[in-house]
A and B are shown apart, each in its own frame.
Chain A
Amino acid sequence: MSLAPAHVAGVGMVRFGRYPAEVTLERMAVGAARSALADAGADLGAVDALHVGHVFGGPVAGQRIAAQLGLDGRPVSNHENYCASGATAVREAWVALAAGLHDVVLVIGVEKMTDRVSGGVRPDPGDLDAAVGYVMAAGHAMSARRYMADHGATREQIAAVAVKNHAHSVHNPYAQYQRPVALHEVLAARPIAEPLGLLDCSPISDGAAAVLLCSPAGLRRLGIEGPVPRVLAVGLVSGAVQTGTGDLNAEDVSHRAGEEAWKLSGVGPADVDLVEMHDCFTIAEIVRMEGLGLVPRGQGAAWTADGRTSLGGRLPVNPSGGLLSRGHPVGATGAAQVCELTWQLRGTAGGRQVEGARTGLAYCKGGTVNGTDGGSVTTVVMAR
């Protein structure tokens, strides 16, 4: 089974970061949406529906945005899959276009976190893990400690993920951080959940990203001629209940998300030229790339330290700077990844351009559920 691709007519972002109270969720979302519409040369009147991904935006955030933007009255839906919310909104837009329901769908991922989240994100209070003191950083710290023991990886190799991604985002005007970070800074940073420190963790951020997706009829409506980057498919899987005492870093959920992506898109892992990876923590980039099958098991840390996942390397990962450096307003991240892949596939990514990029993969993982290997995982496959 394979659905028709969704064409990316336009993308836009507001720079991720920490904004004062007057820069509201609605204001950021409207800013990103207007940028995406301008990028496509489209008027609001051409938009059939609005899909909004967010986690902390409160009830009917999408409709609040629509009323500020000028899409009031149109079909609006809100999509929550924790850190995969933005990508899930993209997925549902792709499905609606392929089904013929709409021809032009605006997707916005948005989050205003800095005024409502502190000390790190955690599961729903009703989840058993929350009751024993689980925070997201702790889960990744346990993953890192076991990874080092099982594969002989070093703390420095894991920290190299942060060094690499910060080096990339120097060239990204939308990134929260745009300065290089040295290895010794990562190693000396304040401990958060040992062995991980502050610079192993993505920040708590505000921001918005928007994507205008079209069917072929939608492209004609907007007067867009010639090829534009396409979303070939979006895989979506959930964590499965785990049994036994096997490999803590098996990442079966990532493997399954990859299989969905390859099956739905017809693209294979060998075709991928670059990856926008959900590096909410340094170690997460390593084990998820391995779970996808894009890096050999146990070698991800060494690959990073050797530069094989850097710009100019064999398989560039997070040319945008990733979550660690672009920032991580959770509901906006999946849409921001699609923005980055679009710029990369157009060849307009400037100093962070992956030369000759033809096919890209974006991966998000959202939330945790006690006893499973994850909450929600999305895999967006795009081609130029």
Chain B
Amino acid sequence: MSPPQTAARARPFRDGLLRLDPPRLLGSHCPACGTTAFPSRTFCPRCRAGDGLVETELGVEGRVHSFTVVRQAPPGVEVPYVLAQVDLPADDVRLMARVVGVAPEEVVLDMPVTLELAPFGTAEDGTVLLGHRFTAAAEVAR
């Protein structure tokens, strides 16, 4: 467990992208056509409505639609890591994120995964910047 003062000195790495407690991704929901978009937008990408969109918390349960094991990256990026297109069925949203909690060679298509937060860096004032990734759901993780 993190000490309390660490939790107090953490914030999302981007404003409006996620909520820390409980960890939730934030999207925009269009009441006119029912479409949810992530990240949040000021217009509806499907019906093009320009107003009336509301902030919405996305479900935390996902499924790996496709993935890769990145073995080469630009300098300063540690490899290997698993990058995936993760579907959130409850919201009909697809997003790109890293997948952890499972050996790269054991990742499979349609594998269930769950949202978690992870450090994405540190601000100049020492605040931990938190971002999103997914971890293998309990029945897969060993």
Contacts and interface: CB of A to CB of B under 8 A. Distances in A.
Interface residues of A, number: 35
B89 A122 contact: no
A47 B62 CA distance: 58
B37 A142 contact: no
A133 B98 contact: yes
Contacts, number: 114
| Most chain A beta-carbon neighbours within 10 Å: one of B38, B72, B75, B85 | B72
B73 A133 contact: yes
B72 A193 contact: yes
Contacts of A135: 70, 72-74
Contacts of A245: 65, 87, 89, 92-94
Contacts of B75: 118-119
A132 interface: yes
B83 A132 contact: yes
B1 interface: no
Interface string B64-101: 01111111111101000101110101001110111000
A143 B84 CA distance: 11
Interface stretch (A57-65, A236-244, A319-327): A236-244
A243 B46 contact: yes
A182 interface: no
B52 interface: no
Contacts of B39: 128, 370-371
A196 to B, nearest CB: 8
Interface string A131-145: 111110110011101
A248 B39 CA distance: 18
Contacts of B73: 119-120, 133, 135
Contact of B72 (A120, A145, A241, A370): A120
Given A128-B14, A128-B39, A243-B37, A133 B66 contact: no
A193 B70 contact: yes
Contact of A192 (B14, B38, B65, B72): B72
A142 B68 CA distance: 6
Contact of B70 (A128, A137, A244): A137
B86 to A, nearest CB: 10
Contacts of B45: 240-243, 371
B112 interface: no
A191 B104 CA distance: 13
A256 B90 CA distance: 30
Contacts of B77: 119, 133
Nearest to A149: B109
A145 B98 CA distance: 16
Given A241-B37, A244-B92, A132 B133 contact: yes
12 contacts: A120-B74, A137-B72, A142-B67, A145-B67, A196-B68, A242-B45, A244-B93, A245-B92, A245-B94, A370-B39, A371-B37, A371-B45
